[in-house]
Structure 1
Amino acid sequence: MEKFSHWRDKGTGIAPFLPHPSSTFATTAGVSSDAPIVLRLANILLAVLSSIVKIPLVLAIGALHFGIISPIFPSYRVRRVSSRLLLTVIGIWYWNVGVEGARRSASRKNASTGPNAGDIIISNFLSPLDALVYSTVVDPVFIIPSYTGEIMVYSLLGAVLSALELPAAKSVSKPPNLAEIQAKALASHKVIVIFNEATPTNGRALLAPAMDRILDEDNHVTGKCRVFPSLIRYSPPDITTPIPPSSSLHYLCRVTSRWKAYSVRVRIAEPLDATDKNVIVSAFDEICRIGRITRVGEELGASSKLKFVKAWKKGRP
């Protein structure tokens, strides 16, 4: 992939926008070119059957979840069960969710270790499924900033679809400030989830943040707010979308063709003080620590992905 060496981090050599080698129908289905032909045919048959069974179920449950349950049902428990069911049908069967400091705080009376209403989760960004995963962990409202740093608020469905598209340059309307969003989140008992890389990557590194501050003259977030760095990771990683697929159906076909199960891991670090002006930097450092990944240079932000995708579509070597 020397053709795309321009989009490798100069310090580490990591290319955050390159799709994983397994991000194709054949390899997602478990088909190896080295396997005997009988095994390859069996894997292809299982992949096709898996898609035939899963896709109608995903579309039916997805329509129910995004069209009725998510926007209408007031009970988070119902919405959470619906999200989990949808992810299970897609193929995510194994979960590993942990909050740092939970054991130390278990003995403290009335201790609250996890994110509460009005708190902020700052997470890495990998795929359309990230938003669904977080909706099973907390009751969220999503912020995916433009690559110029404008705040953009998304519904659950909007956050899912945004991971299938190129990063946005700017908001189509006047962007709200974070204080307004937090006030609404407090009133509706929601947690704010910020995908601050502004675009999905392959998960091999963390991009430079699109928003470099939470607090400024326009965003007077209450001092009671806590900021939780969080890492999400999938195994196998072919579920990620560093390159936007040709369509949402194409992505769905690729993911559902895997007849073996996926697993997801969510790690939420201990909270940071939102009033710290360097809280974004601290949050990204914590994400790198808990995920054992590194940050790439400023030249590999979300805006760089536009040029990368253009080069990618011109033809691969």
Structure 2
Amino acid sequence: MEKFSQFRDKGSGIAPFLPIPTEPAGIYLPFHIFLYVCRVPLLLFFSIAYFAFLQFLPFGVIGRKGPLWCILGIPGIWWIDLAIDGVKKGSLAQHSARLPKPGSIIAASYNSPIDALYLAAIFDPIYAACYPNTRQVQPLTLFQATLRAFASPASQQKPSASATLVDLSTYVAQNPSRILVLFPESTTSNGRGVLPLSPALLSTTSKTKIHPVHMRYTPADITTPIPHSYGTFLWNLCSKPTHCIRIRIAEAVQNTASNAAVSAKASAIESLADSASEAETLVGSEDSEGVQTREERAFLDKIAEALARLGRVKRVGLGVKDKEDFIRMWSNKRH
């Protein structure tokens, strides 16, 4: 893998886009093949039944969550540990107010299609896609959010011309009874690092609670940093007896930078207006989406640091554009 050394983070040496190798089955290969042959038809049947039919029936929250737990249970995915940052084990019930609530946002790590399914089974949220160069988001269904984990980084770099984009604060206000899930890294990694976050979180109001949530899988080979890896993912998912999920939830943060940004922007416009008193009109008063204030950068850093701490990993400087270059080189190597 020395060929891909340029896609290792310079500070940590982490390569977030390399797939996690699967341990050889050895003498247990016939058993793994048996599990795979038995599970795949069941998994496909329940998945098609849910996404094509069951999710549209008026069964309520329980009716939506039940089939999802079946989908997760068929390949042996077990939720073995849920913890809130700073809360002792065994006292979670006493701190339930610190869990995500309707009207709040989950900023989740992005490693696998299981991320969206698992969060749907726990919180029954709605979803939106983030992009690295815009503060707007694209509303998604659960099916779209799940498949997006297999998408190419080229499609995650910027929205398509047909994509419907909305301000995050507007989308939250339109759905006050639901939790909103975002994957602010914009693209999947192998779970060994936290990628730079999208500026979409900066468009939230100071009243919206944002919960950093990290999910860690054992074994880790069901992460999907390589796009369109459906066959490899299905084999890794369905051929092993069990998979374990550890979920960590950090203390909620709020975007106090939004108020500071508004004040700073108003001051800048006022200053420009004073200096352009001889001009008939004031042009170029809107900030570019790529420009961030110090307070905004600190806010995104706080969320990224929380994700890294929860996952016991490091932040990396490689983003969606780097992954696009990596996938291009990876594809050339394989062909």
Pairwise TM-score range, normalised by the shorter structure: 0.7 to 0.9
Deviation of residue 280 (structure 1)?
A: 2.4
For structure 2, the residue ranges without an aligned partner over 5 or more in a row are 258-295
Q: 1:231 corresponds to which residue? A: 214
Contact 1:100 1:268 in 2 (8 A): yes
Contact 1:203 1:233 in 2 (8 A): yes
Matches within 5 A, 1:1-317: 1-22=1-22, 27=23, 30-32=24-26, 39=27, 43-100=28-85, 112-149=97-134, 150-167=136-153, 168=156, 169-171=158-160, 172-186=162-176, 189-211=177-199, 213-215=201-203, 221=205, 223-246=206-229, 248-258=230-240, 260-276=241-257, 277=296, 278-297=298-317, 300-315=318-333
Q: 1:36 corresponds to which residue? A: none
Q: How far apart in 1 are the matches of 2:314 and 2:252?
A: 20
For structure 1, the residue ranges without an aligned partner over 5 or more in a row are 33-38
Deviation of residue 213 (structure 1)?
A: 4.1
Aligned length: 289
Q: How far apart in 2 are the matches of 1:100 and 1:9?
A: 27
Cα displacement string for residues 45-81 of structure 1 (whole angstroms, at most 9, x for unaligned residues): 1122111110111011111221223344451122122
Deviation of residue 2 (structure 1)?
A: 0.9
Contact 1:141 1:156 in 2 (8 A): yes
Letter in 1 for 2:25: V
Secondary structure of residue in 2 paired with 1:273: coil
Contact 1:118 1:191 in 2 (8 A): yes
Alpha-carbon RMSD across the aligned residues, in angstroms, is 2.2
Q: 1:35 corresponds to which residue? A: none
Q: How far apart in 2 are the matches of 1:137 and 1:162?
A: 20
Q: How far apart in 1 are the matches of 2:237 and 2:39?
A: 10
Q: How far apart in 2 are the matches of 1:69 and 1:101?
A: 38
Distance change >3 Å, CA 60–CA 316, structure 1 → 2: closer
Deviation of residue 17 (structure 1)?
A: 0.2
Percentage of pairs with the same residue? 30
Deviation of residue 5 (structure 1)?
A: 0.6
Secondary structure of residue in 1 paired with 2:19: coil
Distance change >3 Å, CA 94–CA 140, structure 1 → 2: closer
Cα displacement string for residues 128-150 of structure 1 (whole angstroms, at most 9, x for unaligned residues): 11100111221211122123334
Structure number with higher helix proportion: 2
Letter in 1 for 2:243: Y
**Normalising by the residue count of structure 2, what TM-score does the alignment of the two structures yield?**
0.80
